Each structure stands twice: as C-alpha cells, then as structure tokens.
Homo-oligomer: A and B are copies of this chain.
Amino acid sequence: MAEPLIIVNLKAYAEGMGEGAGIIAAAAEEIGEESGVAIGVAPAYTDLHPIAMHYAVPVYAQHIDGVAPGAYTGHVTAEQVRAAGAFGTLINHSERRLTLAAIEASCAAARKSDLQTVICTNNAATTAAAAALSPDYVAIEPPELIGSGISVSKADPGIIERSVLAVKNVNPGVRVLTGAGISTGECVRIALELGTDGVLLASGVVKAKDPAAVLRDLVSLI
C-alpha cells in the first residue's frame, strides 16, 4: 500500500475561502508534519496561488477542463492551476460531473502538466472505468454517504471493497481513496482496512471550529 493520503476539499464553502482556506491549510501543514501523513487541500481556484505559496501542503484544484490553452472562456486549464502552484487535481467530483471523453481529456492534460490526478466515481462499475484511464487515484463517493454524516463504517462497506477489487482487476497500479462517509479517525482506520489508500473529505474539516483537532483525530489511528 502507498502512504496514506488525506485530501480536504474546501468546495465553495464560505468557511473554506480566503482566510478560512489559510486556517485549514495551516492545520493540514501542522498535522501533516506531526503525523507524517500527507494531507492535501483543494481550495477555490482563486485561492490556489496564495495557499500554494504560503503553506507546505500538496494543493489540489477541485476540477480542470481537459482543454489546451486557447479560446475557452471561463474554463480552467491544467496549465493555469499548475502555474498557480497546484500539485494535483480532482476530476469528475460528484458536484462537477464530466463526460467520459472530458474525464479522459482532463487526465491527459493533467499528466502533461505533471499534476497528480484523482478521479471521483460513484460505484464499483464507474470506479473500474475510471481506473482504466490510469489516474493516480480514484476516489469513490457512494452517493448515499455524501454529506450524509453516516460513517462509512456504519454503511454497507461492500461498495468500497468491490471498488478496490475492480481497480485491482482493471489497473492494479491505481490507488483508491474513500471519498465519503469520513469524519473521525475510526472512519479513516476502516477506510484503510477496506483496502483504500486514504480519504477525501470536506465538511467534517472545513466546517469544524478547530480543523487542526479534527485532522489530528483523523490521523490518530493510522
């Protein structure tokens, strides 16, 4: 197994913007150093540059469009987020779905700009499909767990296990993240036991009064 990875998705939350993004990135840096666990953050596009410049954490874009530089008003290119200091990018998050052709184009564009790729998926079948595109990670977000507050440990863990197995069959070099149902260190422990290489989470950290405390709990049983 690879070293565990935690990615905190700041979404478009008010609490994760501007100064708030800085507080969370500082917490990620602190707990990352304390624990030795890689903790990345995915801020708004407009916060990519300040966060990447000021904090020693891997910074992810929340989305990129798989287009080359050119006449694409309002699009986000791999070159833009790379120039802003991004280390990687989410692709096809459940709140920003893409066509299959666009997912593949985004992966290819990210690779060309040396961005780590994390494709989000919703079940074992789409996880297998995403793995066939050879991203660095696939993050499974079971729809019934997204933003539900239900722990992946309480829900049917089968979807995670089947997804891990599907990736092994299709493209064993691809790593897997548990992308929903994570709020405590116990959830992270279970996510790793189910065979995934880390977690992608959002509100549990972003909306916390003390993000550092939540992150410290998240890494506590790794």
Contacts and interface: CB of A to CB of B under 8 A. Distances in A.
Interface of A: 9, 11-14, 17-18, 42, 44-50, 62-63, 67, 69-77, 79-81, 83-84, 90, 92-104, 107-108, 121-123, 125-126, 128-134, 147, 166, 170, 202-203
A100 B130 contact: yes
Nearest to A119: B100
Contacts of A18: 83
B11 A70 contact: yes
A104 B80 contact: no
Nearest to A134: B125
Contact of A95 (B71, B96, B129): B71
Given A12-B70, A125-B133, A45 B76 contact: yes
A170 to B, nearest CB: 6
Contacts of A95: 71-75
